[in-house]
Amino acid sequence: MARARTSRSAPSKARSPWRRRLGLALKLALAAIVLATAALVTAVYIARSQLPSFESLKSSPNGQMIRVHAADGSVLVSLGPSYGEWLSYDRIPAVMREATVAVEDRRFDHHIGVDPIGIMRSLYVNYERGRRVQGASTITQQLARNIFLNNQKKFGRKFREGILALALERKFTKDQILELYLNKVYYGGGAYGIDAASRKFFGHGAGELSLAEAAVIAGLVKAPSNYSPTADAEAAVGRAGVVIQQMVRNGFISVADARDANETGVKLAPAPRQNSVRYFTDWALPQLDLLIDETEKPLEVWTTLDPAMQRDADTAVRANVPKGAQGALVAIDRDGSVRAMVGGTDYVSSIYNRATQAQRQPGSSFKLFVYLAALEAGRTPEDRELDAPVTIDGWSPRNDSRRFSGEVTLRTAFAYSLNTIAARLGQAVGFQTVADMARRFGITTTVNTHPSMVLGTSDVRLIDMTRAFASVGNKGVAVTPFGITRVTADGEEIYRHEVDRSQVLVAPNVAAEMTDLLQTTVNTGTGRAAQIGRPVAGKTGTTTSSKDGWFLGFSSGLTTGVWMGRDDARPIAGLHGGTAPARAFQLFMSKAVANRPIERFETAVTLPEAQLEPDAESYYGAPDNSAFVDQDGYGPDDGTPAPQEQAPVFGPERPVVQPLPPRDDNGEPRRDDERLDQDWLDRVTGQPRRDAVRTPPPRTGNPTNQPPGERPNQ
């Protein structure tokens, strides 16, 4: 019996090592769980202690939502990345909170930061589908990732994300976590937070969100680039439908509410225009730093830009700029408001703004300041000056025709840009006086005082030159360009521009006489290609070897400056101020002022004494023994310079005489070859004859009855 009992106990003794091992394994597992739990708890509480405060997290956004409006109220551009207004939990629309919870984390109110049930459900769905179609990140985990981590799909990142999510849940309430999430998560298009997203996609703050709009925004979190309304409006609306279905399934809204939501009828804000309009916004927006001190609230910035004029300006520059060259245009209204600005042929390829940043030689257009100084000193357009060889401090200017016309009026000299006359006037009033006049009219770059400066050898900016011409057109009262009319923050106006009309630069009679000279240039001189069928005053400018072409002028209260050239300052065959730039001016201004009343200048158009060759400026000798030529003449249609009769640069005076017109059999002048005299000018401009008084009819069309850019017969 004793032997039998011994044999029955043997198996029990044989199994005991396995039991011991199993027990040991269970104990080790339990110990590991305890240690892991302790480590997890320790890690969570360490992370909790290192988390910033709720107020610190609220103030952390580094950006500001800025929407820029055109003069007609349309949105030009929305700047980002940006955060909108911070909305506290109770100010966030309930539909926005519910839509977010329904589509991103329907167990948000029940988990501890990480959702084990959600993880198991995600694993099961992904296994069934054979690919990853569902994530398991909670709203708290997403918040941790957005604030502290990145989007790399690595286990280490997911583990840290879980720790931080648990820590966030230990430190903040559910309401605080949802508030942080909705104000910080990225919704695409540079918008962070629901307020920025609402302003960008719907044009209003998040406080006004409808159910359908909230569904669109909530649906963006999954894939902002795919569902962004600005990228794919149809996909955004489709995703919003999924969100609304989830809201019904989770009991947030009824079926009737879902039916009334009508997500397909959501009105999206139009996409802001890009390209050339960005030249304007890049120039205008930095001025905000000087105008306001608001750095947190979202801003609505209202500007002076006219979208129609901007489109026409873009078209005018692109249609006329020579191949391989760049072009710029600025249009300024009489109060200083910038209506159009083109800084180059394509903003996408070059953000360099040639209208406000480039410094180029202005050529003959700089003579504006020479003649202003002379007129202020007491000279008049009818005064006579000798067009003959002149040398000043070793510098000897010449005219384009290489001829000299003898004694001519200042009107004639300006209309045909005679360089010798400009040199004599500069010497008479003083080159420093001319430089001071340029600075008085807004030239901000350095102006040299060498004798050759009268021909435009100092670098200037297009916007400064346009400002100067605008001030002349404003009867001598300073015009200061501006682009921002008012700024609002949360609907409250914090800035409004006030126009200063108190600064008088020259007496009104001086401005009127200068306008007299400028309109003669357009009607009969070097700027004939700029005629638009109504009074225009302007001036051309061309620099050495046709490196730069300028035309600046005004009509009906709008002043426009055009520049063309290469960024590397290489010559451009056939480029003159009176060709491509004048034609761009004509194309733009004919549309820009079409709906404005015709405004006649205070002085009537007066014909120059003789038909002279257009201008070409050069200098030789001191100060630097280099050549400077301003050629504002017209060449053949192929862009090559017009052939000129060769004559000595210096020599006896050789006046240019206009030949007598052909006569008919009775000895009377033939009507098809009329002399361009004062009677002719009175006839085409509607001015009363000298021997009769009559009511002038409105002038329309081209006063010379010739295509723009063509010379009258000589």
Length of the chain: 714
CA separation for the pair 283, 294 (Å, rounded): 19
Which contiguous run of DSSP H or E holds residue 259? helix 255-261
Contacts of 356 (CB under 8 A, 6+ apart): 279, 283, 330, 341, 343, 461, 462, 463
Contacts of 185 (CB under 8 A, 6+ apart): 142, 143, 146, 192, 193, 221
Q: Are 458 and 389 in contact (CB under 8 A)?
A: no
Contacts of 386 (CB under 8 A, 6+ apart): 406, 407, 420, 424
Task: Give me the active site residues, please.
Answer: 104, 364
CA separation for the pair 123, 619 (Å, rounded): 84
Q: Are 390 and 374 in contact (CB under 8 A)?
A: no
> Going by DSSP bridges, is the β-strand pair 484-489/492-496 parallel, antiparallel, or unpaired?
antiparallel
Q: Are 690 and 680 in contact (CB under 8 A)?
A: no
Q: Are 588 and 320 in contact (CB under 8 A)?
A: no
Angular region, 254: left φ>0, alpha ψ -120 to 50, beta rest: beta
Six-digit token string for 118: 């959600």
Residue 630: half-sphere exposure toward Cβ, Cα within 13 Å: 36
Q: Are 541 and 548 in contact (CB under 8 A)?
A: yes
Name which of 658, 613, 633 is nearest 420 in CA terms.
613
Summary count for the chain: helices (H), strands (E) = 23, 14
Burial class, 623, CB count within 10 angstroms (exposed 0-12 / middle 13-18 / buried 19+): middle
Buried b (16+ CB within 10 A) or exposed e, 534-550: bbbbbbbbbbbbbbbbb
> Going by DSSP bridges, is the β-strand pair 548-555/326-333 parallel, antiparallel, or unpaired?
unpaired
Contacts of 107 (CB under 8 A, 6+ apart): 115, 117, 118, 138
Contacts of 597 (CB under 8 A, 6+ apart): 556
CA separation for the pair 466, 562 (Å, rounded): 9
